[in-house]
Amino acid sequence: MKDITIAAITCAAPVGEIEYNLATTVQWAHKARQAGAELVCFPELNITGYCNRAEMADIAQPIPGPISRELSQISRAQDIVVLAGLAEKNPRGNPFASHCIFTPDGQVQIYRKVHTAPPEKQTYTPGDTIPVFKIRSATFGIQLCYDAHFPELSAAMTDKGAEILFMPHASPRGNAEEKHHSWMRHLTARAFDNSVFVVACNQIGENCNGLTFPGNAVAIGPSGELIAKDISPRASMLVVELKAADIEAVRNHPMRHFFPHRRPELYHR
């Protein structure tokens, strides 16, 4: 891993308002690049909006398709890696809750949410792969909201080389302080157990479909310590430099990096 400056966006994403959400993405991608970020991460389903209603099947977009091509153009135009989410059309059933990686050289890669929450199971098809992604400065994984509650997923991504776990959320209810307190219970554990950086961000405001989101963005270091947070009551951007020296200090220490000493051959007996 090399030092990398990232931006985590807290923004509104009204359901079905794709052109509005794309315009929001352009604005924040531009601001992130101006702030020196190499990568910008948006909340879960920030392009299509998020809800658990059947209408998501009609809003869902094909990949590749016009919207993914427009997002690729945003990445190229702003010279920044864009992590953006949309309901992805699935020809064999309900859509996937997907988060895509768009790079300035035109590459498009996809993470499909593996763990759909109980209220989501009638709306979204779960993904069945656990990819990690490489850019110039780092190898990273993506988890979407409910995914973050499952330690095995973070361990699997770490085992594949992840140094950063991005965790975009569409997590409603409560206020920002309450959401931050909730995140500190399990997101710090995902970072500490695997000696990885964790970066999370959430939608904010009303989604025009019955849900209200409290926002929140955090960056957590590989020892489980909070590096930065943003609990602003309005759309905002958290910009953080993730330093290679911080992860190396943990992973090169024989008593601080636990992951290599696991014994997975025993765990499923």
**pLDDT tops 90 at residue 39:** yes
Range of the domain at 183: 4-260
**3-state SS assignment for residue 251:** helix
Burial class for 231, CB neighbours closer than 10 Å (0-12, 13-18, 19+) = middle
If one counts every other C-beta atom within 10 angstroms of the C-beta of residue 54, the result is: 10
Whole-model pTM above 0.85?
yes
What is the C-alpha to C-alpha distance for residues 16 and 51, in angstroms, rounded to an integer? 10
Tokens of 254: 């024989």
**3-state SS assignment for residue 176:** helix
- What's the pLDDT tens digit per position in 86-114? 999 999 999 999 999 999 999 999 999 99
Higher pLDDT among residues 267 and 10, named by residue: 10
Domain-embedded: residue 268: no
Helix axes 18-34, 66-78, angle to 10 degrees: 20
The CATH number of the domain holding residue 89 is 3.60.110.10
Tokens of 197: 């950086």
Total tally of structural domains belonging to the chain: 1
Tell me what pLDDT residue 158 has.
98
To the nearest whole percent, how much of the chain has pLDDT over 70?
100
> Which position has the token pair 């949410």?
113
Domain-embedded: residue 265: no
Domain-embedded: residue 79: yes
Mean residue pLDDT across the chain: 97
- What's the pLDDT tens digit per position in 116-155? 999 999 999 999 999 999 999 999 999 999 999 999 999 9
What is the C-alpha to C-alpha distance for residues 223 and 241, in angstroms, rounded to an integer? 16
**pLDDT tops 90 at residue 61:** yes
What is the C-alpha to C-alpha distance for residues 267 and 260, in angstroms, rounded to an integer? 15
